Structures are given as structure tokens and as C-alpha cells.
């Protein structure tokens, strides 16, 4: 009887959520009016959506790209092998997006890169750390990995060589999102969502479309339910390459933790929590880099996704999006129609001045320019945006 009562409460809560799936926009701006003023865009196409990017220098961006819709929204990856994601190099001056190859990458390991972080050794040598959702047809073989790649920079050409990796336990809670490298032995990473994607048995794939969509919808509703009930169950973790230990960081819980950025000079790690509309500041221990203490919280105007810290200007750059329900509407429309065309979205760019605690919001986008903005960076006068849902880079060119 207790179980039936609890089940009834859950059904009522889910029903409440379904009937209240509204997109909430800020009333700070007349969004359509702002949108008309900001029409100076250039679009650079890519094969798949670009999830994250990081600045190598004022001329080059490294971008991670994978088939987000087919991996996290539809069942397609479970019924056949899908094309792997890729790393790109974007040349700002030449406006050229070039696909990069990783030498010696393990055979039979699918590559679907998500969050990325760069550690500088010298002017021509770096280490690139990559979240890789190594998903296979058999869910039992799926791996959540972090790849460590040597990046060498010679005569303006880049080469990448695989070095080693972390494979997280299969019962790991949720999915990985972003990461930040502190030193060669220490990285931090965030998880998003409360439940991993539902598994899909190859034994019943003939009836699988209905079965999978039912499982996905349950997964979807449970994540929404947790957010509505304010159940903060995603976290920030540190990892030590020497002892291979994963450490949960205290006071890092969130509804869906997202972007990370590191201020090496001040030993401060920034963590974006989009649904809480804030950025948490953690001070990294000098005695033990795997330990971090929460020291402050910066409130943001909008939902902040991935973040990038600019050392020279002491600013955080971020892609911003509308609401959780807006992204879910995008995903549900893709499941139903295979497109995002019918969904209105809101997105843009925020520049946060850490030194003076001042925030600037720029580039308000509606409907067609770029759906589901997740990353943003300012280089010189231009602003670069990307989305988990739409291929390519959108460049806002300042006069």
C-alpha cells in the first residue's frame, strides 16, 4: 500500500510537470527587438554540433564535436554504429574549420568528445584532456572515459598523440560533462543529469522504438522531477592520476552541474550551475590539489552553460540558454519530427568581470540563428557561440 501511495504521488507530480512545460524568458529585454539589432552574424558549418571550445591562442580555437542528438536523445546509437565525433581546429584569421586526427588512438574505442581542457607545458607543447562518451551497441560495453592527449605545435601545424585515459566505473552516477586540469596529476570534472541513459536490449530491438521511447520518457520525467523538487544530485569531483582516486568535493551539489574554468594564478576553480543561475568558486588546496573549498557564489542573469576564464582580462565568458524546459522541448521535437525547426529558443553570451563583480549580457537570439546555445567566447571584437543541438559556429562580428 505504501508503494502504491508513493507511485500515485510520483504520477501526480509528473502530470503536473507535463502540463506546466512552459518556456520562461527574462523580462529584462524585448527579445525580438534586441534580436533585430544584432544581425551581423557569420555561420561556419561543421559535420556535427560543437559542444565545447578552448582558445589555444588569439588565432586558433580547439573544438569538440559529436552527434549529441543521436547519442543522448534518440535510440539510433543502440541499433547501429554511428559515425564518431571529432576534434576541430578553427583558424580565426582564415575562418577555416579543420578536422583533427589523434595518432595512436586505441582501436575499437568509439570517440564522442564532450568537455575539453588544455594544460600548457611550453609554447609548443600542451596536454589536452577530453571527456569521451565511448558508447557501443551493447550497453554493457559503454565507457565514460577521459582521454589524455599530447598536443604539439610546430610551424603553425598541430599534431595530437594519444597518451593514456581514465575509465570510470560502470555504475558511475549520471554522465560526465565538463572538466578542468589543475596540474598534470590532477583534474576536476562535473556530472550532469541524475540517471544515465536507459539501456536497450538488442534481444528486443524489433519492438524497441516504443520500448526505448518509454524508457527515455521516464528518464526524462525523473530528471525534471528531481529538478522541480530541488534535489541537487550532481556534483564536482577531482581525480588523481597517481593513485587513481575519485574524490567528491563538498558543497558542490547542483541540479545539473555544467561548465568548469580554472584561474591558475589564484588557484580558483569556477563551476557553472545553469539551473540555479550561479557560478560557484572553489579554492584549490596548495597542499593537496585534489581538495577544494567553496569560498563564494556569483549570481548570473541567465542559465550559464560552458564557461571559459580569460587570464589577461580576468573575465569569465559563457554561453547562455533560456530554460530547462526549452531544451527539453527541443529534444522532444527532435524525437517526434527529427528537427528543431518548430521550437522557439533563447540564447546568447555573457561576460562576467570577476575583478569588479560586473556582468554584461550580449547577443539575444530567437528561433532561427542558433538553437540551444551552450558555449561562448570573446576574442578581440568577435564573439563565438556554439550549440549542442545545431552544427557549426556562429560568429557575431563587432564593427
Over the stretch 166-208, which tens digit does the pLDDT of each residue have? 887 755 556 788 999 999 899 999 987 655 544 433 333 444 4
Closest Cα to residue 129, out of 141, 139, 119? 119
Residue 255 in domain: no
Residue 91 in domain: yes
pTM of the model: 0.84
Q: Is the dihedral of CA 385, 361, 301, 261 positive or negative?
A: positive
Q: In which band, very low, low, confident or very high, does the pLDDT at 221 lie, cut at 50, 70 and 90?
A: low
Mean pLDDT computed over 335-348 = 79
Mean pLDDT computed over 299-312 = 90
Q: In which band, very low, low, confident or very high, does the pLDDT at 356 lie, cut at 50, 70 and 90?
A: confident
What is the Cα–Cα distance from 30 to 119, expressed in whole angstroms? 41
Give the three cell numbers for residue 194. Answer: 541524475
Mean pLDDT computed over 298-326 = 87
Residue 215 in domain: no
Q: In which band, very low, low, confident or very high, does the pLDDT at 25 lie, cut at 50, 70 and 90?
A: very low
Domain that holds residue 73: 48-172
Residue 306 in domain: no
Q: What is the pLDDT of residue 126?
A: 95
Q: What is the pLDDT of residue 341?
A: 76
96-100: strand order across its sheet: 96-100, 86-91, 60-65, 41-55, 391-396, 382-387, 373-379
Q: Say whether pLDDT at 282 is over 60.
A: yes
Q: Work out the mean pLDDT of the chain and round it to a whole number.
A: 79
Q: Say whether pLDDT at 105 is over 90.
A: yes
Give the contacts of 138 (CB within 8 A, at least 6 positions apart). Answer: 202
Q: Say whether pLDDT at 279 is over 90.
A: yes
Q: Say whether pLDDT at 34 is over 50.
A: yes
- Whether 187 contacts 238, CB under 8 Å: yes
Residue 56 in domain: yes
Q: How many domains does the chain contain in total?
A: 1
Give the three cell numbers for residue 356. Answer: 569588479
Residue 225 in domain: no
Q: Which residue has the higher pLDDT, 134 or 395?
A: 395
Q: Which residue has the higher pLDDT, 183 or 313?
A: 183
Q: In which band, very low, low, confident or very high, does the pLDDT at 330 lie, cut at 50, 70 and 90?
A: confident
Mean pLDDT computed over 290-318 = 91
Q: Say whether pLDDT at 123 is over 50.
A: yes
Q: Say whether pLDDT at 17 is over 60.
A: no
Cite the DSSP H helix spans in the chain.
2-18, 31-37, 68, 76-79, 208-228, 324-337
Mean pLDDT computed over 246-259 = 90
Q: Say whether pLDDT at 29 is over 60.
A: no
What is the Cα–Cα distance from 87 to 90, expressed in whole angstroms? 10
Residue 16 in domain: no
Mean pLDDT computed over 295-307 = 90
Q: In which band, very low, low, confident or very high, does the pLDDT at 27 lie, cut at 50, 70 and 90?
A: very low
What is the Cα–Cα distance from 334 to 104, expressed in whole angstroms? 35
Residue 319 in domain: no
- Whether 49 contacts 387, CB under 8 Å: yes
What is the Cα–Cα distance from 6 to 255, expressed in whole angstroms? 22
Q: Say whether pLDDT at 269 is over 80.
A: yes
Mean pLDDT computed over 378-394 = 89
What is the Cα–Cα distance from 113 to 105, expressed in whole angstroms? 13
Q: What is the pLDDT of residue 196?
A: 52
What is the Cα–Cα distance from 352 to 300, expressed in whole angstroms? 9
Q: Which residue has the higher pLDDT, 371 or 38?
A: 371
Q: Say whether pLDDT at 352 is over 60.
A: yes
Q: Which residue has the higher pLDDT, 57 or 102?
A: 102
Amino acid at each position: 500500500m505504501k508503494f502504491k501511495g508513493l507511485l500515485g504521488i510520483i504520477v501526480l507530480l509528473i502530470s503536473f510537470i507535463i502540463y506546466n512545460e512552459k518556456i520562461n524568458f527574462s523580462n529584462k529585454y524585448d527579445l525580438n527587438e534586441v534580436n533585430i539589432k544584432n544581425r551581423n552574424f557569420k555561420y561556419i558549418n561543421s559535420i556535427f554540433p560543437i559542444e565545447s571550445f578552448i582558445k589555444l591562442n588569439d588565432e586558433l580555437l580547439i573544438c569538440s564535436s559529436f552527434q549529441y542528438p543521436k547519442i543522448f536523445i534518440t535510440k539510433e546509437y543502440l541499433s547501429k554504429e554511428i559515425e564518431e565525433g571529432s576534434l576541430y581546429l578553427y583558424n580565426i584569421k582564415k575562418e577555416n574549420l579543420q578536422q583533427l586526427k589523434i595518432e595512436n588512438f586505441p582501436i575499437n574505442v568509439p570517440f564522442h568528445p564532450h568537455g575539453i581542457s588544455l594544460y600548457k607545458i611550453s609554447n609548443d607543447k600542451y596536454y589536452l584532456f577530453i571527456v569521451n562518451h565511448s558508447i557501443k551497441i551493447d550497453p554493457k560495453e559503454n565507457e565514460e572515459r577521459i582521454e589524455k592527449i599530447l598536443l604539439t605545435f610546430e610551424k603553425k601545424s598541430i599534431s595530437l598523440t594519444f597518451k593514456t585515459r581514465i575509465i570510470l566505473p560502470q555504475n558511475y552516477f549520471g554522465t560526465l560533462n565538463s572538466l578542468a586540469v589543475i596540474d598534470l596529476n590532477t583534474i576536476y570534472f562535473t556530472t550532469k543529469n541524475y540517471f544515465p541513459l536507459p539501456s536497450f536490449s538488442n534481444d528486443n530491438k524489433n519492438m524497441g522504438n516504443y520500448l526505448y521511447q518509454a524508457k527515455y520518457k521516464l528518464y526524462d520525467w525523473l530528471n525534471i522531477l528531481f529538478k522541480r523538487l530541488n534535489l541537487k544530485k550532481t556534483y564536482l569531483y577531482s581525480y588523481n592520476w597517481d593513485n587513481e582516486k575519485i574524490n567528491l568535493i563538498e558543497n558542490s551539489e547542483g541540479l545539473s552541474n555544467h561548465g568548469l574554468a580554472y584561474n591558475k594564478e589564484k588557484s580558483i576553480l569556477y563551476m557553472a550551475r545553469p539551473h540555479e543561475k550561479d557560478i560557484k568558486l572553489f579554492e584549490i588546496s596548495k597542499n593537496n590539489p585534489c581538495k577544494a573549498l567553496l569560498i563564494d557564489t556569483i549570481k548570473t542573469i541567465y542559465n550559464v552553460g560552458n564557461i571559459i576564464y580569460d587570464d589577461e582580462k580576468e573575465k569569465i565568458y559563457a554561453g547562455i540558454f533560456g530554460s530547462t524546459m526549452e531544451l527539453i522541448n527541443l529534444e522532444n521535437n527532435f524525437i517526434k519530427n527529427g528537427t528543431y525547426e518548430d521550437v522557439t529558443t533563447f540564447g546568447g553570451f555573457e561576460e562576467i568581470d570577476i575583478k569588479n563583480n560586473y556582468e554584461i549580457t550580449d547577443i539575444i537570439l530567437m528561433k532561427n540563428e542558433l538553437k540551444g546555445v551552450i558555449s561562448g567566447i570573446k576574442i578581440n571584437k568577435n564573439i563565438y557561440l556554439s550549440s549542442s543541438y545545431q552544427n557549426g559556429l556562429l560568429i557575431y562580428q563587432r564593427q
